[in-house]
Amino acid sequence: MTNEFTLTQTGTEPTALAFADADGCARWLRALPLSNIPKHYDAIRDQLKRMTEADFTPRERARIAEVFREPVAYLHTELARRYAGKPHPATDREHDAAEQGLALWQALWNQYSACLKPLLEGDPELQGVKAKVLQRGLWVGKQLILVYGLARRVPAANVWQELHAYYRLAEILECSVSAVSDELMPNAVGVSCYSTYSHALLLNLADPCAMTVRQIELTDRWLAMWARKVFPYAQQRETEVPVIVIDLDAPAGASLVAVAPRHTSEATRFGYPAKLATSVRGRLKRLASGANPAELQLGHEVSVEASAALLSHLDSRWYAPPKKTGNETQTSLDLCVGGLGAAYFRVAGRTFNRQDPLGRLSYHGTQHLATLGALTDYDRNKDEAEKSWAWEHWQGIYDWDEANVRRIGAAQHRWHLEQLVIVRDDERVRCGYVRRVALDSHGELSVTLKLWSGSPTALGVRALTTMLSEDPPVPVVLLGTTTDEKASIITPPRTFNPGRILRSFDSGPERRFRLTRLVQRGADFERVAFEESPA
């Protein structure tokens, strides 16, 4: 083996590996230009692929993989800008970027995986670094879980099988709790094979498909400090609940249950999240009492509201097993998205007319014009609206306040978190928003919807102003009062301003809504509390 490169023969065309050892790899990487990301990716991906075919000692392979970690992490960040948190179905560019991210980490993981057999066979060169090699492999596996989450995909079964195999080997070699150092994780605490493995399990258990990109990144950062609080025990503690159950033979991650199963195999591990929950809930209490996120090690750039919302979500995922109400039914639903324009069209049965057809006349004049309009009612935009905001047919579980559905066939609309959605069942039309978007390994898209209980009414409104120029009219949806919720109004983004008054101009008496409080800010809507006043 030469000092700078080796040659392998593929057919008649020779191909070169650009380095012979870790030092040569470091020099080669320093010479790569960072300005051209596609070329940078191709070069690193190509060399990692050639490494798989090259003849390195296990120790040198592990050293070279260590050198590759930082540039691969850099490329991961650049690629994530193109796919992270994007709607589904993905565009070709978004899909390709996600696939490249997965392929890059997998290529690096292959280098660590090539060391597993020598480790198990007791390779003397690896004995002093066995904990570090296994921890690095588990870390790369955790990074793959991160990429799947950022891409709103369910992790592939083979990723979990490989992660479980790494941890099982760490147990066999009795190095699962051995502390290792990691310069790429400066804020990590107590890094070991078990903490990195728990990090991957807890990150997936947090359900990244229901989180924003920012929330996923924060959770990943916080878990670098907290993951060591959950250890995968081989023995069950019958008095401690809830419990995180891990099956090392399963093609899936961990699950949180209220009571551990009675019959388990030797591959079952049990994690107890009580210490983790104490840490999360303690921070929630301190935030409520006026502490700032920085002093709680949550980050200097994170707001109190964002920290509290994410901590509450994590507490529900890590310490509150899901409860089945028993009211869920299997059904098919028609769904439509497209913002307030689509909501107005599907609720009112007509497209929104941006002209004020009633001219703010008296009530009698308004009624007269409405009658004339009814005689010549023609919605010139209806056919186009039917195409743009078509109903999509979904199948799944439907409850009064939630629906978990899968798409039947290819989706026409693009689906993303916090998106306004209109739902039609056999009896009525309802409104809600998207709370989770996930694409499984078979390419099947599933979404979770949170549904509002109030009956929707579509209105056209205009902001009341004393200025000579008036704001343009906008469509809104009024949600009626129920036993569960007070009435609220769904408006376009950036509509809310405390005390702002919206006046309706649809047929019927004028209604005035004084906006009082922002209840929820979605991706394409705001849900606002109001007080209604006489015109």
Going residue by residue through the chain, which has 535 residues, state the pLDDT in tens, using 9 for 90 and above. 333 333 333 333 445 899 999 999 999 999 998 888 899 999 999 999 999 999 999 999 999 999 999 999 999 999 999 999 999 999 999 999 999 999 999 999 999 999 999 999 999 999 999 999 999 999 999 999 999 999 999 999 999 999 999 999 999 999 999 999 998 887 788 899 999 999 999 999 999 999 999 999 999 999 999 999 999 999 998 888 899 999 999 999 999 999 888 888 999 999 999 999 999 999 999 999 999 999 999 999 999 999 999 999 999 999 998 776 666 778 899 999 999 999 999 999 999 987 654 444 444 444 544 554 444 457 888 999 999 999 999 999 998 899 999 997 788 899 999 999 999 988 799 999 999 999 998 889 999 999 999 999 999 999 887 665 567 899 999 999 998 899 999 999 999 999 999 999 876 788 999 999 999 999 999 999 999 887 6
The DSSP result for 420-445, as a single string, is: EEEEE-SS-EEEEEEEEEEE-TTS-E
Check residue 325 and give its pLDDT.
61
Instruction: Give the tokens for residue 89.
Output: 């179905």
Closest C-alpha to 61, from 139, 7, 10, 129:
129
pLDDT for 472: 84
Output the six-digit token pair for 183.
């310069």
Give the residues across from 255 on adjacent strands: 245
pLDDT recorded at residue 14: 40
**pTM score:** 0.90
Closest listed residue to residue 211, CA positions, set 306, 127, 280: 306
Are the beta carbons of 424 and 393 closer than 8 angstroms? no
Return d(Cα 356, Cα 361) in angstroms, integer. 11
Burial class of 89 by CB neighbour count within 10 A (0 to 12, 13 to 18, 19+): middle
* Residue 512 backbone phi and psi in degrees, to 5: -120, 135
**Cβ atoms of residues 426 and 393 within 8 Å:** no
Beta bridge partners of 393: 334
Three-state SS annotation for 24-56: HHHHHHHHCCCCCHHHHHHHHHHHHHHHHHCCC
Q: What is the dihedral of CA 341, 346, 350, 352, to 10 degrees?
A: -20
Structure tokens at 473: 């009219």
CB atoms within 10 A of CB 274: 14
415-418 long-range contacts, CB within 8 A, separation 24+: 415/87, 415/88, 415/337, 415/445, 415/447, 416/85, 416/86, 416/87, 416/88, 416/523, 417/85, 417/210, 417/211, 417/212, 417/523, 418/521, 418/522, 418/523
Q: How far apart are CA 196 and CA 175, in angstroms?
A: 13
Check: CB of residue 388 under 8 Å from CB of residue 338.
Answer: yes
Classify residue 378 as exposed, middle or buried by CB count within 10 Å of its CB (0-12, 13-18, 19+).
exposed
Domain ranges in the chain are: 6-319, 328-535
CA 518 – CA 527 distance, rounded (Å): 6
